[in-house]
Structure 1
Amino acid sequence: MRVILGLSLLLVSSQTLGQAILPGFDSQTLPRNDDDSTDLVSLGFTVNFFGINRSTVYVNNNGNLTFDQPLFEFTPFDLTATSRQIIAPFFADVDTSEAGQPVTYGTGTFAGRPAFGVNYIDVDYFVSSPEHNNRNSFQVILVDRSDVQVGAFDIVFNYDQIQWETGEASGSDANGRGGASARVGYSNGSGDAGTFFELVGSAVNGAFLDGGPNALVGNRLNSGVNGRYIFQARDGTVIAPNLFNEADGQWVNADPDFQGAGEGLTFDFFPSLELLFVAWFTYPLEAITPAQPGGVVDVGEPGQRWLTAQLDVVDNIAVGPVFSTAGGAFDAPRTDVQRSVQVGEMTIELNSCDSGNVTYNLFNGEITRTFEIIPFEKRVNPNVVCN
């Protein structure tokens, strides 16, 4: 029994919820509880999860499914270093004992295929209280894809509202924020490369919350629906998403009112090398200093408007050096000798197939800046949808 005293209220402004969660999957109910689990439940089909065929699963109250045994742990642990076989749409301290709705589960269909789903709709956090008015609504669906191959399946995470990230026993404040924040992903428990994955934003305070930098309701993966993330399991392996695989091309500053010289980046990703080449052009003049008399920017040759970067990619984050190349700039005087000089460091983090953040540090820290980027196509047509 865990007891934590003290309560304050979080006032949540009215907002439109997401549309990712699907109806159904509610024929069974996990009775109201704190940290409990079901017995083994039938999926209605067989899945090949990293070489082991599974047809049953434990539904755990704290936002996850496990294959090996029930999980009563309420503080989310690192999914990249666990020995547990787990699929976690939102591993955190869900408490349905006193308020919100209990967890439901059952069979149904997804896109015409047999499926098993679990609903965490309007769920509260520890310590559960009717006075809480910030709740979470999310869903996990396992979809039979034996039409593709025996044992193949899809994992679908759906999110409509995420307004808390932690229980108070995991270090949150009374509003369910801060502390050991939620983790999203999966693992087969072996620790072997390629057998685990955590979504960017896991364990980062505020990241997954509505309006956060990695808001679960505002992003998507392998889907045209905001708040929906789809992972494919084929040949006994879950295909870990790398957003850079689909990111080649032009990206621009997301701010429509950006008043600099214009800012864009061209990506060219080499998966076998896990290397991203970036051509960074027309960066804002006021951000690149020191300037010489007359306003000439002191980066490479006078008038140069191009920098390049070669970044190492791990998951959906690319990090590496930024170079200025003299002798090849479009509007700079020609030189007889081309040379590249490192002038800083850059980090690019993709949050979805159509959003990301760039942070750069130039001149030994004299210039540091972060800005949001979107594909050029989305600047031209804000309604364009990527998959």
Structure 2
Amino acid sequence: MVFFEGEGPMLRSCFSSVIALAVLAGATLGSPAAASAPLIDGLGGPAGFGELTQFPNDDASSNELNLPFGLNFFGTNYNSFFVNNNGNVSFGSPLGSFTPTPFPASSLPIIAPYWGDVDTRNQPGGGAVYIGSPNSNTVVVTWNDVGFFSNDNSKTNNFQMVLSNRPETGSGNFDIEFRYNRLEWTTGGASGGTGGLGGTPAQAGYDAGDFTNSFTLPGSRTADVLNLQNTSNVSSDTPGIWQLLIRNGSITTGTTPETPLLPTIVNDGSFVFDFNVVLNQTVFIDPIISVGYDYVVNSGPNIASALFPSVPVEAGGFQLFGFNSMTNLYDVPLGSVAPQTVFNFAPGGVSRFGVRGIDMSALLDPGDPTAFVTGLTFVNAGTVNLSQTPFTIDTGPGAVPEPASWVMLIAGFGLVGAAMRRRRGALVAG
């Protein structure tokens, strides 16, 4: 789990219970045709997605459309929005730009499930943008089988944005969900693309329009944006679904250790994060773990310090280990630290480390992504790509090692725990 102090995404699906959001997906969870998110339909209209927002076009927008509920989006209340052909909605005025500008981009607030150069002029029998409402607290905007500029439907994308009213949590609070059913193209011809690829690819996320608050989904403005259909910030069982939660006018997940950002589960058991850090900013990370875990900075600044939560630990506290390239193990002792105490790495920081010593009595559930909140600082500002691999142990009968045996387990015998329960670590940012 990643927590950015003062900013971060999370959301509850309008059709499910509250689910915390992962910052980054690095997993390929299956082929798009077999695994990507189904679109919400049954909303009436010519294609089952509601009414057309605009006729087939290039770079146009709908009229200003009334929302069935008010939204508080970063301190401004909105009761209407514009649906833009190019894969986004905007507040206050329409947006015709077809090449995505890196967020934060302008003074215009937008929510963009897939901002790219959509062209629906050559889409017989489909390829249109619809709006529908399954109920008075939900709005669904669908880009159905849309092609790309110019007049090209040799590849098509199929995706949705769902806005859900959450009045029980406060006036103006709402959830955002992006659903990617099929993504085949990234770029229109006027954005440098050829055959729907290359050039400046599409971008997904939001921009508050204040030149400060924004969030970009992984892979945006790169060829990897196509992977949004195969990845998720909800779970490995929901490829193609990405969620955000807006409370009191801003993204709330990540603003406290109790609501950190969650990792995306990767098939090999690791978690991957991509995020920007500011010097001296604390970033909270919470993996799905049982008795320890390993961090690896794949790119970006080294880790300067770590702060762990208050959970039961073995005698001596948390044990930290550096990576030994000769043995390919985390067997270089770095020191120990008590819960809720900052551990400072040597000058220059470390690009990878392992932590052990969580007592089995903590019964941390590898399936609970809020089990262990950790604060990290970095030696420099920059963009970080960080992977995280849980260290688990089988707690079934006959499989529990004696405490003295834990040091022998730093080689990484990753046996999945069989008798764990959920526990959340509490932490205050340092």
**What TM-score, normalized to structure 2?**
0.56
Q: Name the CA shift for 1:218/1:380 in 2 (closer, same or farther; >3 Å).
A: farther
Inter-CA distance 53–207: structure 2 relative to 1 (3 Å threshold): same
- Work out whether residues 114 and 143 of structure 1, in 8 Å CA contact, stay in contact via their aligned partners in 2: yes
Q: Structure 1 CA distance, aligned partners of 2:59 and 2:266?
A: 44
- CA distance in 2 between counterparts of 1:251 and 1:17 reads 15
Letter in 2 for 1:126: F
Q: Determine if contact 1:80/1:198 at 8 Å carries over to the other structure.
A: no
Task: Tell me by how many angstroms 1:183 deviates.
Answer: 0.9
Report Cα offsets for 1:342-370 as digits up to 9, x if no partner: 696459xxxxx79xxxxxxxxxxxxxxx9
Aligned-pair identity in percent equals 29
RMSD, aligned α-carbons: 4.1
Q: Secondary structure at the match of 2:83?
A: strand
1:246-325 paired onto structure 2 within 5 Å: 254=269, 265-266=293-294, 276=306, 288=325, 305-306=330-331, 325=334
Name 1:4's counterpart in structure 2: none
Give the CA deviation at 1:147.
Answer: 2.1
Name which of 218, 227, 235 aligns with 1:200. Answer: 218
Higher relative contact order (CA 8 A, sep 6+): 2
Matched, 1:218 2:230: yes
Equivalent residue, structure 2, for 1:138: 159
1:159 to 177, 180, 183: 180
What amino acid sits opposite 1:234 in the alignment? Answer: R
Match of 1:6 in 2: none
What is the alpha-carbon distance in structure 2 between the residues aligned to residue 79 and residue 120 of structure 1?
Answer: 22
Matches of residues 39-78 of structure 1 in structure 2 within 5 Å? Answer: 39-78=63-102
Cα distance, 1:149–1:165 mapped onto 2, change above 3 Å: same
Report what 2:207 is aligned to: 187
* SS of corresponding position for 1:169: helix
Pair 1:14–1:201, CA change in 2 (3 A): closer
Shift of 1:230: 1.5
How far apart are 1:128 and its partner, in Å? Answer: 2.4
Q: Deviations over 1:51-84 (max 9, x none)?
A: 1111111000000000020011100111223221
Q: Find the structure with the greater CA-based Rg.
A: 1
Deviations 1:237-257 (A, max 9, x none): 123669993569x999549xx
Say whether the 8 Å CA contact 2:35–2:230 is kept in structure 1. Answer: no
Question: In structure 2, which of residues 143, 147, 163 is the aligned counterpart of residue 120 of structure 1?
Answer: 143
Do 2:117 and 2:148's aligned partners in 1 also have CA atoms closer than 8 Å? yes
Give the 3-state SS of the residue equivalent to 1:75 in structure 2.
coil
Shift in alpha-carbon separation, 1:84–1:372, aligned structure 2, 3 A: same
Deviation at 1:168, TM superposition (A): 1.1
**Whole-angstrom CA distance in 1 between matches of 2:36 and 2:200:** 25
Distance in 2 (alpha carbons) for counterparts of 1:24 and 1:116: 13
| Paired letter, 1:179 | G
Structure 1 residues 34 and 147, CA, compared in 2 at 3 Å: closer, same or farther?
same
Gaps of 5+ in 1: 1-12, 210-214, 256-263, 290-296, 308-323, 329-338, 348-352, 355-369
Q: TM-score, normalised by structure 1?
A: 0.61
**CA, structure 1 residues 146+344, in 2 after alignment: closer, same or farther (shift >3 Å)?**
closer
The CA distance in 2 between the partners of 1:137 and 1:274, in whole Å, is 42
C-alpha contact 2:233 2:242 (8 A) present in aligned 1: yes
State the secondary structure of the residue aligned to 1:16.
helix
Residue 96 of structure 2 corresponds to residue 83 of structure 1: no
Corresponding letter in the other structure for 2:204? V
Distance 1:277 1:126, change over 3 A: farther
Structure 1 residue 275: Cα displacement: 5.9
SS at match of 1:147: helix
- Do 1:251 and 1:373's aligned partners in 2 also have CA atoms closer than 8 Å? no
Letter in 1 for 2:331: W
The alpha-carbon distance between structure 1 residues 94 and 148, as it changes in their structure 2 partners (threshold 3 A), is same
Aligned with residue 19 of structure 1, among 25, 37, 46: 37
Q: 1:280 to 1:142 in 2, by over 3 A?
A: same
SS at structure 1 position matched to 2:190 = helix
Offset at 1:149?
Answer: 1.1
* Contact 1:43–1:115, Cα closer than 8 Å, also in 2: no
